[in-house]
Structure 1
Amino acid sequence: MNFFKLKQTFEHLGYFETPENTQLIENLKQDIHQGGLIIVSGIVGSGKTTLLVHVQKELQLAGQVIVSRSLSVDKEKISLGTLMTALFYDLSTKSGVKLPTQPEKRERQLLALIKKSRKPIALFVDDAHSLQTKTLVGLKRLIELVYQDGNILSVVLAGHPKLKNDLKRPVLEEIGARIRSALMLEGIKNYQQDYIKWALTEATQKEVDWQELITEEALNFLAEKLATPLQVKQYLKQAFEQAYEVGQKLITIDVVETVLVKSLNDLEPQLVRYGYSVKILSQLLQVKPGEVRSFLNGQLSANQTQEMMDKILMAGIPLSS
Structure 2
Amino acid sequence: MRVEVMQYYGLTRPFNQAGYYETAHHQALMKDIRGAIHEGRLIALCGVVGSGKTVMLRRLQRLLEEEKKVTVSKSLAVDKHRIKLATFIAALFYDLSTEKHVRIPSQGEKRERDLRELVRKNKRPVALFVDEVHDLNGHTLIGLKRLMELVEDGDGRLSVVLAGHPKLRNDLRKPTMEEIGYRTDVFSLDGITGHQREYIQWLLKTCSDSQSEADAMLTDDALELLAAKLRTPLQIQLHLTLALEAGYQAGERPVPVEVVDSVLSRQIDDLEPTLIRHGYRIKDLTEQLDAKSADIKALFNNTLDPVRATELREKMLRAGLPI
**TM norm structure 2:** 0.96
| Residue aligning to 1:217 | 221
* Letter aligned with residue 97 of structure 1: V
* Letter aligned with residue 132 of structure 1: N
| Residue aligning to 2:161 | 156
* Letter aligned with residue 200 of structure 2: I
- How many residue pairs are counted as aligned between the two chains? 318
| Residue aligning to 2:3 | none
- Segments of 5+ residues of structure 2 without an aligned counterpart are 1-5
- Pair 1:317 & 2:321 matched: yes
Matches within 5 A, 1:80-119: 80-119=85-124
Partner of residue 166 from structure 1, selected from 171, 178, 189: 171
Distance in 2, matches of 1:255 and 1:102, equals 62
- Pair 1:24 & 2:29 matched: yes
| Residue aligning to 2:259 | 255
- Pair 1:288 & 2:288 matched: no
State the secondary structure of the residue aligned to 1:264: coil
| Residue aligning to 1:183 | 187
Q: Deviations over 1:287-311 (max 9, x none)?
A: 1111111222222344333221110
Deviation (angstroms), 1:8: 0.6
Q: Deviations over 1:223-247 (max 9, x none)?
A: 0100000000111111111112222
Contact 2:117 2:154 in 1 (8 A): no
- Pair 1:5 & 2:10 matched: yes
- Pair 1:72 & 2:84 matched: no
Q: Deviations over 1:162-183 (max 9, x none)?
A: 011111111111111221x100
Distance in 2, matches of 1:303 and 1:126, equals 39
Partner of residue 203 from structure 1, selected from 195, 207, 224: 207
Deviation (angstroms), 1:254: 1.3
Partner of residue 35 from structure 1, selected from 40, 44, 53: 40
Deviation (angstroms), 1:85: 1.1
Deviation (angstroms), 1:36: 2.5
Contact 2:45 2:188 in 1 (8 A): yes
- Pair 1:121 & 2:126 matched: yes
* Letter aligned with residue 213 of structure 2: D
State the secondary structure of the residue aligned to 2:159: strand
Higher alpha-carbon deviation: 295-304 or 4-13? 295-304
* RMSD (Å) for aligned C-alpha atoms: 1.1
Deviation (angstroms), 1:267: 1.2
Higher alpha-carbon deviation: 169-178 or 198-207? 169-178
List 4+ stretches of structure 1 deviating above 6 A: none
Distance in 1, matches of 2:83 and 2:198, equals 37
Distance in 2, matches of 1:5 and 1:174, equals 54
State the secondary structure of the residue aligned to 2:268: coil
* Letter aligned with residue 57 of structure 1: R
State the secondary structure of the residue aligned to 1:275: coil
Deviation (angstroms), 1:75: 1.7
Deviation (angstroms), 1:249: 2.4
| Residue aligning to 1:145 | 150
- Segments of 5+ residues of structure 1 without an aligned counterpart are none
Distance in 1, matches of 2:239 and 2:212, equals 20
Q: Deviations over 1:78-111 (max 9, x none)?
A: 2111111111111112222121111111111111
Deviation (angstroms), 1:4: 1.4
Contact 2:133 2:163 in 1 (8 A): yes
Distance in 2, matches of 1:88 and 1:245, equals 53
Deviation (angstroms), 1:201: 0.7
Matches within 5 A, 1:51-62: 51-62=56-67
State the secondary structure of the residue aligned to 1:3: helix
State the secondary structure of the residue aligned to 2:45: strand
Distance in 1, matches of 2:94 and 2:61, equals 17
* Letter aligned with residue 255 of structure 1: V
Contact 2:38 2:125 in 1 (8 A): yes
Matches within 5 A, 1:216-255: 216-255=220-259
**TM norm structure 1:** 0.96
Distance in 2, matches of 1:221 and 1:59, equals 38
Distance in 2, matches of 1:112 and 1:14, equals 38
State the secondary structure of the residue aligned to 2:9: coil
| Residue aligning to 1:308 | 312
